[in-house]
Structure 1
Amino acid sequence: MSASTQATRDLCPAEQLDGLVVLTLNRPEARNALDVPLLQAFVAGLAEGRRAGAGVVLVRAEGSAFCAGADVRSDDGTATGRPGLRRRLIEESLDLMGDYPAAVVAVQGAAVGAGWAIATAADITLASPAASFRFPELPLGFLPPDSTVRRLEAAVGPARALRLLALDERFVADDLARLGLVDVIPEASLDGKAREMAARLAALPPELLRDLKTGLSAWKRPHSIDRPPSKGSHEH
């Protein structure tokens, strides 16, 4: 293995278990902000997991933050003649997560922009009480990924999805738990609970898990008429 290949894998190490791949975002000094090398490692890990037969993926992260979003201070691919590469890799990673019969994400600390998009791409999102979520894309002049928009609209309805996606507000884990988007787990138990749940899913027949997921996606449930999180429960 070349030094460059090893360095790429170190950015997102993979654990291959029975029917399960565990991928760890490992750029804690940058709060796991998604630059091109980390995204390439993440995409490669997702693709390799499926090729190896994993039916379930667990995405976790090292450090105090889950993911601070796209690293806009880094090169987006322009330097190598591929402008927009970072955005394309983000979208590819979300598509690959959706290709698994089940995806689990464990969020500690901040999940910003593309970090929140990764959490939204999961079928089950576990979050510590200190986790926080924010989409700053629109004020920065970008649209969130299409798959993220669709999933949030299906989960909470268009009005709430607009608030979550457009206003650059900071929501805490309890806010999203009230909307049914995350389950809050004590931070000391978060990693163990995520691994346990992912392993239980991986023990199921993957084709049946896929069929169940497809059936649930096709079921259009009425949206709750509960009020959205109060302004006092999050920061602007």
Structure 2
Amino acid sequence: MTDTNTAEPVVLTEVRDGIAVVTLNRPQARNAIDYAVAVAVAAAMDEFDARADVRVIVLTGAGPTFCAGMDLKAFLQGEVPALPGRGLAGLTEAPPGKPLIAAVEGHVLAGGFEIALACDLIVAADTASFGLPEVKRGLVAAGGGLLRLPKRIPYQVALETALTGNPLDAHRAYALGLVNRLADPGKALATALELAQEIAANGPLAVQVTKQVLSRSAAWSPQQMWEQQSALTTPVFVSADAREGAAAFAEKRAPHWTGR
């Protein structure tokens, strides 16, 4: 889908050696999210989640800013940058099953921060800043920010961040465990691709199920957790990839994964 003001696609996609890169492409609007972006992001995530040749997805933004959040001009015209069942940017309520890495530069604010929080991992330029300034505009961070942030950093820090609307700089976000890796300015995408390559080198079935167990287990009771984990992991142990991994180790060679 394209931006009617520039005729440029609002989201760019490419695949590099098993890694899909999805780029928010409205740099003139600091990659603010409107309905067209939401539709395009949802379509990209669906495509890459279904493609056997894609193992990891990286989400980034064009230009010096990852995403400034909801397009307030579009909001004032009655537009909602969310999709039913998919959430803000077509992503926050329904992230892909495959690992999703946010590669962020500059300001990661409001809905932009909520999009980053919907990702599994965050790689940030050390000059980036994160914030939920919705309260400063009489709004609420209802795109997942209030739900996810207290699970990613200490509750009191999350509360202060959300109630004041003040930003966290990248170094503090890294120290709190919110950011996985810091990069030099302009190198967030390159660093995220390095991380993605480390993940993509592993067995795709094992990676996908590992993410499922980690993301779902918080909702499992002590009585459920072993049964639920077994239901997800047992097929991995009897897969062709599991046999290939063992054979490759024994033969001292790189494994050749088939995803089966």
Matched, 1:176 2:196: no
Counterparts in 2 of 1:198 and 1:95: CA distance versus 1, 3 Å: farther
Contact 1:135/1:165 (8 A) holds in 2: yes
Tell me, in whole angstroms, the C-alpha distance in 1 between the residues paired with 2:51 and 2:7.
Answer: 19
Counterparts in 2 of 1:146 and 1:32: CA distance versus 1, 3 Å: closer
Matched, 1:117 2:114: yes
Taking only aligned residues, the RMSD between alpha carbons, in angstroms, comes to 2.7
Tell me, in whole angstroms, the C-alpha distance in 2 between the residues paired with 1:155 and 1:3.
Answer: 34
Tell me, in whole angstroms, the C-alpha distance in 1 between the residues paired with 2:131 and 2:21.
Answer: 25
Give the equivalent residue in structure 2 for 1:86: 81
Give the equivalent residue in structure 1 for 2:67: 67
Contact 1:103/1:124 (8 A) holds in 2: yes
Amino acid corresponding to residue 126 of structure 2 in structure 1: P
TM-score, with structure 1 as normaliser = 0.78
Contact 1:19/1:55 (8 A) holds in 2: yes
Give the equivalent residue in structure 2 for 1:187: 185
TM-score, with structure 2 as normaliser = 0.71
Give the equivalent residue in structure 1 for 2:234: none
Matched, 1:212 2:207: no
| Aligned residues between the structures | 212
Give the equivalent residue in structure 2 for 1:196: 194
Give the equivalent residue in structure 1 for 2:101: 104
Counterparts in 2 of 1:19 and 1:138: CA distance versus 1, 3 Å: same
Contact 1:9/1:41 (8 A) holds in 2: no
Alpha-carbon shift at residue 200 of structure 1 (Å): 2.4
Alpha-carbon shift at residue 196 of structure 1 (Å): 1.8
Give the equivalent residue in structure 2 for 1:55: 55
**The 10-residue stretch of structure 1 (66-75 or 159-168) with the greater mean CA deviation from structure 2:** 159-168
* Structure 1 stretches of at least 4 aligned residues deviating more than 4 Å after TM superposition: 2-5
Counterparts in 2 of 1:91 and 1:158: CA distance versus 1, 3 Å: farther
Give the equivalent residue in structure 2 for 1:231: none
Larger Rg over CA atoms: 2
The secondary structure found in structure 1 opposite 2:92 is: helix
The secondary structure found in structure 1 opposite 2:39 is: helix
Give the equivalent residue in structure 2 for 1:230: none
Give the equivalent residue in structure 2 for 1:41: 40
Alpha-carbon shift at residue 179 of structure 1 (Å): 0.5
Contact 1:35/1:76 (8 A) holds in 2: no
Tell me, in whole angstroms, the C-alpha distance in 1 between the residues paired with 2:100 and 2:208.
Answer: 11
Contact 2:38/2:82 (8 A) holds in 1: no
Amino acid corresponding to residue 117 of structure 2 in structure 1: T
Alpha-carbon shift at residue 123 of structure 1 (Å): 1.6
Contact 2:9/2:25 (8 A) holds in 1: yes
What does the per-residue CA deviation read over 1:172-219, in whole Å, with 9 as the maximum and x for residues that have no partner?
101111101112111243222111211222232233113322333436
Alpha-carbon shift at residue 163 of structure 1 (Å): 1.6
Q: Which one scores higher on RCO, CA 8 angstroms, separation ≥ 6?
A: 1
Residue identity over aligned pairs, in percent, reads 27
Tell me, in whole angstroms, the C-alpha distance in 2 between the residues paired with 1:57 and 1:200.
Answer: 13
Give the equivalent residue in structure 2 for 1:32: 31
Contact 1:76/1:86 (8 A) holds in 2: no
Alpha-carbon shift at residue 104 of structure 1 (Å): 0.6
Tell me, in whole angstroms, the C-alpha distance in 2 between the residues paired with 1:3 and 1:219.
Answer: 39
**The 10-residue stretch of structure 1 (179-188 or 208-217) with the greater mean CA deviation from structure 2:** 208-217
**The 10-residue stretch of structure 1 (17-26 or 117-126) with the greater mean CA deviation from structure 2:** 17-26
Tell me, in whole angstroms, the C-alpha distance in 1 between the residues paired with 2:143 and 2:35.
Answer: 20
Alpha-carbon shift at residue 94 of structure 1 (Å): 1.8
